[in-house]
Structure 1
Amino acid sequence: MRVFPTHAASAGAVAAAFFFTLALAACSESPAPLRVVGGDATLGRRLIGQYQCGSCHTIPDVPAARGTAGPSLDRFGRNSYIAGAIPNQPDALGAWLVNPAAVKPGTSMPDLGVSPGEARHMAAYLYTLQ
């Protein structure tokens, strides 16, 4: 004797499969890059090259940015945290780029003399890295 699922059981299985599919789709989609008010990503990329951030980091589309002393920044815009502890938000990233030791005492990230305006542009570029 074959037992067939009831309509309610079938509907539940279909709903579960639907929500599981939605969850998988949400995990695979890239989040929209964070926007930095007043930031110019093209200028930010140039500033990152000018400040030689690539001597410590690998950074896409920045000439000679193949450093390995710091983490790769190739997917920086997807990171939840800056330096493993600071929520990755535009204001926090700007403060980090201007004065890393003030944000995370003891960090090995050097203070490069980046101005707040330059940091805004650099952050705009970093958030494009998905």
Structure 2
Amino acid sequence: MNRGLRAPLALLLTLPSLLAAPGCARTDPPPPPQVRNGQPARGAELIARYGCGSCHTIPGIDRAEGLVGPPLTRFGARSYVAGELVNNADNLQRWITDPQAVEPGTAMPNLGVSPLDAQDIAAYLHTLE
């Protein structure tokens, strides 16, 4: 075989395998652990009190059928919070207390949720599997 054709031919033979490798080939993180000190029942009450259901659909919360934000169904089984943070207790609480610090300009408003309230809200959301 002509030496001038070997390199291009080798590239052509390996190119399909390079293109077949997906860009999102990383392994998703495991489901989040439950919030250790959170109280899910209180979290459900707080979700209703803060009006989260006006923007989100949230299972188990009366009149939580909002269509502005994403539905929070099966939230405990999700890998990421807001597409930015690995879904774990600390990151979810961070998002709930100050979403603008995580993603400036997000439609999620800062509702003035205290760290204790965020802990309980996160505890409830992580029960949704």
CA distance in 1, matches of 2:79, 2:31: 13
RMSD: 1.3
- Structure 1 residue 99: deviation in Å? 0.5
1:13 maps to what in 2? none
User: Cα 1:108–1:119, aligned 2, differ >3 Å: closer, same or farther?
Assistant: same
Query: Is contact 1:40–1:121 with CA below 8 Å preserved after alignment?
Result: yes
1:114 lines up with 2:113 in the alignment: yes
SS at match of 2:109: coil
1:77 maps to what in 2? 76
Query: Is contact 2:38–2:120 with CA below 8 Å preserved after alignment?
Result: yes
Runs ≥4 in structure 1, deviation > 4 angstroms?
none
SS at match of 1:92: helix
Identity between Structure 1 and Structure 2 (%): 52
Query: Is contact 1:33–1:128 with CA below 8 Å preserved after alignment?
Result: no
Q: Which runs of 5+ in 2 are unaligned?
A: 1-29
CA distance in 1, matches of 2:95, 2:31: 22
1:46 maps to what in 2? 45
Query: Is contact 2:32–2:126 with CA below 8 Å preserved after alignment?
Result: yes
What TM-score do the two structures reach when normalised by structure 1?
A: 0.73
- Structure 1 residue 60: deviation in Å? 0.6
Query: Is contact 1:48–1:54 with CA below 8 Å preserved after alignment?
Result: yes
- Structure 1 residue 40: deviation in Å? 0.2
User: Cα 1:101–1:33, aligned 2, differ >3 Å: closer, same or farther?
Assistant: closer
- Structure 1 residue 34: deviation in Å? 2.0
CA distance in 1, matches of 2:120, 2:89: 11
Q: Which runs of 5+ in 1 are unaligned?
A: 1-30
What TM-score do the two structures reach when normalised by structure 2?
A: 0.74
